[in-house]
Amino acid sequence: MKVKKYTAPSMPEAMKKIRGELGESAVILNSKVIYTGGVLGLFKKKNIEVIAAVDPVSKQEKREKRSKNYQNKPEEKAAPSVMKKEPKVDDGSSPLQLKKEISELKSIVQQLKINNGFEHYPVNIRHLLLFLKDQEVDERYIHEAGEHLMSLCEGEDALSAPELNAAVSRLMMSKLEILPFGGTSYKKKYVNVIGPTGVGKTTTLAKMAAEAVLEKRKKIAFITTDTYRIAAIEQLKTYAQLLNVPFEVVYKLADFQKAIEKFSDYDVVFIDTAGRNFREEKYVQDLAKMIDFENDMETFLVLSMTAKEKDLNEIINNFSTIPIEKFIFSKIDETSSYGTMYNIIRSREKGAAYITAGQNVPEDISEASPKGIVDLVMEGKEK
């Protein structure tokens, strides 16, 4: 097995050197950032040090196969030219040792395939980055974390797994802390919850209302515009009866204005909307005709964590004409990966108000926070 060390300003340049000398069958065994030169610790030059090796698997397998073929045909005479090409172990290694090395290289090659773009990171960092990928964190944020960890390891001993986990958590939280988080502000009189069908809007609204009544001691009322589903009306009506608060169903803009006037002396009015298909532009237009989103209104968009990230982004785009205060992430108890929440908050530069899990009112709701989101993403990562 031929092993060589290469140094280059970047990984692509190092790979170019490796392919030029060792060929396409070469594999990377290790890589790290090193610094050379400089004066009194300043002006050091950053380089990538890579250890690579040639994978002898294919040649050796051909030799063994050819040798077995001749052993199984004793009555045939092998041509002299073929006899000269019998494999010889000329590096002092035993066949058993060589097979062990081949097996190890196969394992390395397989692992590199699994690493899928993270092979230039040290093993301890790579392990954490693969965990983030399994949590469906966007690769641009994974590489951001990887480079951050590499900078922390410069000139230092390798960080332990708990130290790496803590460093990534701090980085992720710092990216979220610049955005608004937390539940209903109670600075605006009307609280509106929108979103596609099936995300749990009505239940979420009831949880928010229960918090307002039981914890904040607010005088509240309900309005629903969801006249498409009788079950939804009955559901919200039941919640209103349990909380002992008034409830109005509106069918058109005139009804909405009357309900607003009726509840003029209330602290907060919670508004439930119809779900419908989020791909229908008419649905969003109908909402805008029915509700004045600009007038003293705090609007939350509910997103289910059981949906694909692509679909969630399409939902957000479809509601882009409506001023959305924050996101609410529902059904987090029905998934095991939470990177999508982090991706959406980062890419949309919009914070989250609540996280909901389950159907219990008012228990299964909690205010969202940068730490809470990151803790969910990092949940399950061994210390």
298 exposure class (CB count in 10 Å sphere: 0-12, 13-18, 19+): buried
Q: Find out whether 369 and 341 touch, Cβ atoms under 8 Å.
A: no
Q: Tokens for 271?
A: 């508004």
Count of Cβ atoms closer than 10 Å to residue 342 Cβ: 23
For 287, list phi and psi in degrees, rounded to 5: -60, -45
44 pLDDT exceeds 60?
no
The residue ranking higher by pLDDT, 122 or 157, is: 122
Mean pLDDT along residues 204-232 = 86
What is the model's pLDDT at position 144? 94
Taking CA atoms, 82 is separated from 64, 65, 69, 76, 259, in Å, by: 14, 14, 12, 13, 96
pLDDT (tens digit per residue) in 248-260: 988 887 888 899 8
User: Among 223, 220, 199, which Cα is nearest to 211's?
Assistant: 220
Mean pLDDT along residues 218-230 = 83
Task: Quote the CA–CA distance of 350 and 365 in Å, as a whole number.
Answer: 19
pLDDT (tens digit per residue) in 131-146: 999 999 999 999 999 9
Q: Tokens for 239?
A: 């919640």
User: Among 181, 160, 173, which Cα is nearest to 381's?
Assistant: 160
Task: Quote the CA–CA distance of 201 and 28 in Å, as a whole number.
Answer: 51
What is the model's pLDDT at position 41? 42
66 pLDDT exceeds 80?
no
Identify the helix (H) or strand (E) that includes residue 330.
Answer: strand 326-330
Q: How confident is the model at residue 235 (pLDDT cuts 50, 70, 90)?
A: confident
Task: Quote the CA–CA distance of 84 and 102 in Å, as a whole number.
Answer: 24
Q: Find out whether 329 and 341 touch, Cβ atoms under 8 Å.
A: yes
Mean pLDDT along residues 26-34 = 72
Q: Are strands 326-330 and 297-304 parallel, antiparallel or unpaired?
A: parallel
What is the model's pLDDT at position 55? 55
Q: How confident is the model at residue 119 (pLDDT cuts 50, 70, 90)?
A: confident
Q: Find out whether 328 and 303 touch, Cβ atoms under 8 Å.
A: yes
8 pLDDT exceeds 50?
yes
Task: Quote the CA–CA distance of 293 and 327 in Å, as a whole number.
Answer: 16
What is the model's pLDDT at position 142? 94
Task: Specify the pTM.
Answer: 0.67
Q: How confident is the model at residue 382 (pLDDT cuts 50, 70, 90)?
A: low
3-state secondary structure of 103: helix
Task: Quote the CA–CA distance of 69 and 367 in Å, as a whole number.
Answer: 70
Q: Find out whether 299 and 323 touch, Cβ atoms under 8 Å.
A: yes
What is the model's pLDDT at position 92? 56
Q: Find out whether 286 and 256 touch, Cβ atoms under 8 Å.
A: no
Q: How confident is the model at residue 247 (pLDDT cuts 50, 70, 90)?
A: very high
For 184, list phi and psi in degrees, rounded to 5: -55, 130
User: Among 50, 26, 8, which Cα is nearest to 108's?
Assistant: 26
Count of Cβ atoms closer than 10 Å to residue 32 Cβ: 17
Spell out where 12-134 has E strands.
Answer: 26-36, 45-54
Task: Quote the CA–CA distance of 378 and 366 in Å, as a whole number.
Answer: 18
Task: Quote the CA–CA distance of 333 and 362 in Å, as a whole number.
Answer: 16
81 pLDDT exceeds 70?
no
Task: Quote the CA–CA distance of 326 and 299 in Å, as a whole number.
Answer: 7
Q: For the chain, percent helix, then strand, then coil, each to nearest 5?
A: 45, 20, 35
What is the model's pLDDT at position 357? 84
Task: Quote the CA–CA distance of 8 and 12 in Å, as a whole number.
Answer: 9
Among 18-27, 83-92, 111-120, 225-234, the range with the most confident prediction by mean pLDDT is 18-27
Mean pLDDT along residues 48-75 = 60
Q: Tokens for 225?
A: 């515009």
What is the model's pLDDT at position 252? 80
Percent of the chain exceeding pLDDT 90 equals 37
Outline where 153-194 has alpha helix (H): 161-176
193 pLDDT exceeds 50?
yes
Radius of gyration of the chain (CA): 31
Mean pLDDT of the chain: 80
Mean pLDDT along residues 48-60 = 66
User: Among 273, 285, 337, which Cα is nearest to 309's?
Assistant: 337
368 pLDDT exceeds 70?
yes
What is the model's pLDDT at position 107? 63
